[in-house]
A and B are shown apart, each in its own frame.
Chain A
Amino acid sequence: MLPRSNAIRFAIFAGIVFAAVMPLFLTSWTTLVALILAKGIVVLGIIILLQAGQVSFGHAMFFAIGAYAAAFWGRRFGGADLAFLIVLGPLCATIFGILVGLFVVRYREIFFSMLNLAFSMVLWSLLEKMYHYTNGADGIRVPRPTFLGMAFSPDAFQYVLLYLTLALAIAATWAVQRYLDSPLGHMLRAIKANETRLEYLGMSARRVLLCGYVASAFLAGLGGVLVAVAQQIATPEFGFWTKSGEFVFIAILGGSANALGAFAGAAVFEIVRFFAAAKLANTWQLILGLVLIIIILFAPNGLIGLWQKKKMQDGRAP
């Protein structure tokens, strides 16, 4: 999957160092970087499904399930430990992933997208309308959790969350890379290339896709917990279809052929949103939309693809 070139290794290293060190100097960026990493984790899941040629337009549902798991737990029991929440959220998302996955992996392409969309919209309307349990559109506040039994001040907690998210992002990227390099990952790509042949080899395409689907639900749930904790709230918006679109958007923006693209895409997306929203209201979608169109029309392999191409050209130059 990931070309094992020195250039990529360097980029990974530089990215990690940047994410780890820079917030120490720019305090206001701490939460932003944590959000980028958390979104990147969700997008890793989208990239897994894209390997099989399937686009889920409903993955925000697992993102929302992770977020609401943390929110419900916090409301029911007053507080929680972050170490526990990052297990709880993905666990809930995984269970839902298996249940929904059992249905959706029977379908491909547009039917797969549509069915995911339908499931996510059912969840969204329940979150929005079951006011009694979910507070409706206002969402549920997620109280600041402790971490490993220690309570932190808001400032210190920002850093705890950042470094935890960074560690999880590294672990998730490594795991996804291993998964995609494994026979199971190759079979996933075989679904895109030629599903009938895969079946003739004696493999169950549905089971292969289900593994990928559940893995992606797990990652979305993890990202959902982290974002809910970082923003201290979970709202139905987390599960709306535009959120699902955003994740697919980020995957294509970064370049879906590469796990690293998830984080490159998420960084560009969140930074544009952060600055455009601060400077000019109502323009961040406009700018991102234009960027996406340019990427699709002129750089089909995403930002990472652009960067690799440039590297290759530089390499050839005398």
Chain B
Amino acid sequence: MSRNKSQGLAVAARMNSTILVLATLDGLSYAALVFLVSVGLSLIFGVLRVVNVAHGSLYAYGAYMAATLSMIVAPISPWLTYPALLVASILVGVIIGGLMERFLLRPVYGRDDVLQLLITFAVFMIMDNLQRLIWGVQPIFASEPLKLLPNVSLFGVTYTSYQVILLPLIAIAALFGLRYFLRYTLAGAVILAVTEDREAATAIGIDAKKVYITTFMIGATLAALGGALASPTTSLVPGMGTDMIVLSFAVAATAGLGQIEGTAVTALLIGLARAFVIYIQPEFEVLVPYLIMVLVLLVRPMGLFGVNHVRKI
């Protein structure tokens, strides 16, 4: 998606070094977005043991909501579109994520795994249709935040600083923020305790229900943030969430579900691989993430960074 907007494309003579830099930058900005969505999925699975099929819908809603809010605040001051992106993702994550966990997932914990998977599949179907009813099926463009920041030149390639500086910075901030939150704060310790042993954690007075809903909201907000940040760089169309969900599955599963740092490395790997393939053999672009996923899972079913004991046999 980023390649459409990459200003350097026109200048991209057939010089190999230029292509190399372009592909790297494309891959980097793409990986940043994919990381945000995948890490949310991974976090939710790590704590709740639920694969959230509606995760891609949260991504799409984040994008649409950000576009809507941007259009409202842009006339006041275009700079307000940046906080609008953040507000949009929190709104989507907390409200939709919270409602989903409280009223749909909570009743099915402890029942067949397939029911949890399917209930999020049902939410995906509902959200997909609602999205068409609310925002229509025509593509929406909201590139305001992209245009405000200056372009940068790197090794002779001009690129938007929104994509090559701001997006990776936010992804890195999210990575370290999550690490810090889970390792060095009380709330994070509580989440880890519930993940490790829900019963024992409940026995010492931890409210596991609260932990579940909080985690789900955080994960959902990360997905929506990925969408909100992607909204200036791409056109918003129906089906954008459908593609994103399998991609984030691929990244999260390749990394090993529940692995936060691993997700970052894998997102970078898949993002770069995809970007290079676009320049070498564009028709195989979609294939790359899934091929990597199949190959990795065949050799290491627990993922690249997963821990072995998750397997029963």
Contact = CB atoms under 8 A, between A and B. Distances in A.
Interface of A: 50, 53, 55, 57, 103, 106-111, 113-115, 117-119, 121-122, 125-126, 128-131, 195-196, 199, 205, 241-242, 245, 248-249, 252, 282-286, 288-290, 292-293, 296-297, 300
Nearest to A252: B118
Given A282-B132, A285-B125, A297-B108, A108 B246 contact: no
A267 to B, nearest CB: 18
Given A129-B284, A285-B129, A286-B130, A110 B113 contact: yes
Interface string B296-313: 011001100000000111
A108 B294 contact: no
B56 to A, nearest CB: 10
A107 B301 contact: yes
Nearest to A206: B313
A111 B301 contact: yes
Contacts of B249: 114, 117
A122 B290 contact: yes
Contacts of B124: 245, 289
A125 B293 contact: no
A196 B283 CA distance: 45
Nearest to A129: B283
B85 to A, nearest CB: 27
A113 B132 CA distance: 29
B305 to A, nearest CB: 15
B250 interface: yes
Interface residues of B, number: 48
Nearest to A126: B287
A249 B129 contact: no
Q: Is the interface of B mostly helix, strand, loop or mixed?
A: helix
A157 B180 CA distance: 66
B74 interface: no
A110 B126 contact: no
Given A286-B129, A296-B122, A118 B283 contact: no
Nearest to A122: B290
A186 B85 CA distance: 54
Contacts of A50: 114
A94 to B, nearest CB: 20
Contacts, number: 132
B153 to A, nearest CB: 33
B215 to A, nearest CB: 17
B287 A296 contact: no
Contacts of A130: 283
Contacts of B113: 55, 109-110
Given A110-B51, A252-B118, 13 more contacts: A53-B112, A55-B113, A107-B297, A109-B312, A110-B257, A111-B311, A122-B291, A248-B114, A249-B122, A283-B133, A284-B129, A285-B126, A286-B133
A296 B286 contact: no
A110 B45 CA distance: 10
Contacts of A108: 311-313
Top 6 closest A-B pairs, CB basis?
Answer: A289-B125, A289-B126, A286-B129, A285-B125, A292-B122, A125-B286
A248 B115 CA distance: 10
B249 to A, nearest CB: 7
A162 B45 CA distance: 44
Interface string B263-286: 000000000000000000001111
User: Which of A53, A118, A131, A248 gathers most chain B CB within 10 Å?
Assistant: A118
Contact of B297 (A111, A242, A297): A111
Given A55-B114, A118-B297, A290-B126, A296 B313 contact: no
Contacts of B51: 110, 113
A240 to B, nearest CB: 8
20 contacts: A55-B113, A57-B117, A113-B51, A114-B249, A121-B246, A122-B291, A122-B294, A125-B284, A129-B287, A248-B117, A248-B121, A249-B118, A249-B122, A252-B114, A282-B132, A283-B133, A285-B128, A289-B123, A290-B126, A293-B123
A115 B297 contact: yes
A242 to B, nearest CB: 7
A228 to B, nearest CB: 22
Nearest to A123: B290
Contact of B287 (A107, A110, A122, A131): A122
Nearest to A100: B294
Contact of B313 (A114, A196, A290, A293): A196
B129 A114 contact: no
B195 to A, nearest CB: 15
A296 B283 contact: no
A9 B249 CA distance: 43
Contacts of B297: 107, 111, 114-115, 118
